[in-house]
Structure 1
Amino acid sequence: MNVLLRDKQIEIISALCEGIGQRAVARLTDTDRKTVARLALRVGRGAAELHDRMFTGIRTNRLELDELWAFIQRKRRWHQKPGADGAVTGDQYTYVALSASSRAIVSYLTGKRSSDNTDQFIQDIRARVIGTPEISTDGYHPYKNAIRDAFGNRTAHGTITKTYSVTHLAVTEASRRYSPAEVIAVARDVVSGVPAQISTSYVERSHLTLRQSCKRFARLGNGFSKRLEPHCAAVSLYVAYYNLTRVHESLKCTPAMALGVTDRVWTIGDLIDAALATQPIAPVPTAPERRRRFSVIEGGKA
């Protein structure tokens, strides 16, 4: 079985983490596109497992929660009924929980924007975080019940709701346009407890970094994901790269270092080695035409 050299793997993953599409990476690195896709998928799976192992027992004072929109294969058509593959195609949201002090992504989840996924996302945060940090979210209603069930009524939870000026009558939601309209009002409401600050500015800014660092999230392009599994792997790869490898400009260290998860800046090679170490080695069957044909030869008598 052919295996890419480590230097070539580092070159490919580095390019993907800088927002270059798979086809462009294949051309730049002189590598087959399917090879690039297989490596990205495997490293992405390992990055998800790595995040589950490292980001536990987290202590943080405040969390900001928000969702980032993308689509798989095709956008949702309001005038069409979802097909049989509606659960894995169309609109897909990436839930992100960001630590306000360290800017680290503590938890994330990709799927439909639904009550079940919201509850699963909040339960994952509860399993990773020690104590009851302040939580700021948008006005999405399922957050309220999910946070109350996971953290109790005493947690400090506040919501922030932005109102946009709609200038085009054909657009029902101004915040979903490629160029959102001007924000004309911001409402902050206390759901429970006494939150000292209600804001989602940090996590919204991190969404911009994700769109710039992952071609699948780029606006008005053809680099969108065609299947859900590679899309989730790309998100996991970005989160590991952002937390462990990318030095934050204002913190002067990686978010994982600021959070106390690690004590050094990881290289892309370190990330690849750690991610691939979590993945089992799957046997590759030999093609039938390449298998050796054995025949029994009658031996002579001694």
Structure 2
Amino acid sequence: MNKLPLAKRAQILTLLCEGSSMRSVERITGCSINTVSKLLVDAGKACATFHDEQVRNVKAKRIQCDDIWSFTAAKQKNVAGMKAPVDGAGDTWTWTALDADTKLIVSHFVGGRDGECAKWFMDDVASRLANRVQMTTDGHKAYLEAVEGAFGADIDYAMLVKIYGASPDSAKGRYSPADCTGIKKNRIEGEPDLAHVSTSYVERANLTMRMHNRRFTRLTNAFSKKFENHAHMVALYAVCYNFCRIHKSLRVSPAMAAGVADRLWSMEDVAEMVEAGLPKPGKRGSYKKAVG
């Protein structure tokens, strides 16, 4: 059985986390697209398990939450007209929770933007925290019931509601956002410190995620073609961001700053972790007889 060298596997994972598309990774490394795709799937599964096990009992003070839009296979408005529909096609939202002090991605969730997905996300956030925190979200109404269900009264929660002006005119461009003319800080639960009611850090982290993941790039054909691969890429990126990169303002990785890691990881470490989680291959030509 052919096996890629560790350095080559680490190179592929690095390129995927630095904004390269799967086809460009194929061209740069000389590996087939099937090899790149399989490694992404294996890495996504291993990283999701690793994050679930390691990012626990986080002692945070302030958590910021936000969601970032992308789409799978087709934008939501075009799903009905798809010639070959695929599962999970349409708008895809990646929810993230960030520790404002250590910049650790505490939780990530890929799904829709409805109340059920908000509940899944907030339940996961709550399960990873070791103490009462102050939380800030934007004004998305799905957060209200989700935060209440996950934390009850054991949280200091506020919403940061942005106020936008008129829609941009055609001279500014079709995809130019409306101008933000102000904000409102609404206390929802507990006693949040209004001076720290902000989503700036998580929004900046989500911008970094968009820039370092080709499938998040707008106005290209680099969008995700499979929902599962989108989730795998987010899981891989989260581990890379938390454990393998030094944050410039902290001068350590977010995981080290948060106390969930004692050293800086490399992509070789991630590649070795992925391999360790794979099932051992059987003897060549061996098989199990199907039970009919």
TM-score, length basis structure 1: 0.87
Give the residue type in structure 2 aligned to 1:261: V
Give the residue type in structure 2 aligned to 1:133: V
Deviation readout 1:10-35 (Å, 9 max, x if unpaired): 11111111111110111011111111
Which one of the candidate residues 170, 180, 184 is aligned to 1:183? 180
1:122 paired to 2:122: yes
Between the aligned partners of 2:139 and 2:67, the Cα distance in structure 1 is: 11
Structure 2 partner of 1:142: 142
Q: CA RMSD in A?
A: 2.5
Deviation readout 1:164-190 (Å, 9 max, x if unpaired): 2233489xxxxxx74322111211100
Between the aligned partners of 1:237 and 1:114, the Cα distance in structure 2 is: 24
Runs (5+) with no aligned partner, structure 2: 288-292
1:63 paired to 2:63: yes
Structure 2 partner of 1:51: 51
How far has the Cα of 1:81 moved from its partner?
A: 8.7
Structure 1 partner of 2:212: 213
Contact 1:165 1:181 in 2 (8 A): yes
Between the aligned partners of 1:271 and 1:158, the Cα distance in structure 2 is: 36
Change (3 A) 1:28 1:191: same
Structure 2 partner of 1:296: none
How far has the Cα of 1:150 moved from its partner?
A: 1.6
Structure 1 partner of 2:230: 231
Change (3 A) 1:210 1:149: same
Deviation readout 1:91-115 (Å, 9 max, x if unpaired): 0101100001100000010001111
How far has the Cα of 1:246 moved from its partner?
A: 0.9
SS at match of 1:95: strand
Contact 2:16 2:25 in 1 (8 A): yes
Equivalence map 1:1-302=2 (5 Å) = 1-77=1-77, 88-168=88-168, 178-196=175-193, 197-281=196-280, 286=285
How far has the Cα of 1:61 moved from its partner?
A: 0.5
How far has the Cα of 1:286 moved from its partner?
A: 4.9
Contact 2:91 2:112 in 1 (8 A): yes
Contact 1:58 1:129 in 2 (8 A): yes
Deviation readout 1:203-243 (Å, 9 max, x if unpaired): 00001100111101011111111011111000000000000
Structure 2 partner of 1:299: none
TM-score, length basis structure 2: 0.90
Change (3 A) 1:129 1:83: farther
Between the aligned partners of 2:17 and 2:63, the Cα distance in structure 1 is: 25
In the alignment of these two chains, the number of paired residues is 283
Give the residue type in structure 1 aligned to 2:176: S
Runs (5+) with no aligned partner, structure 1: 171-176, 289-302
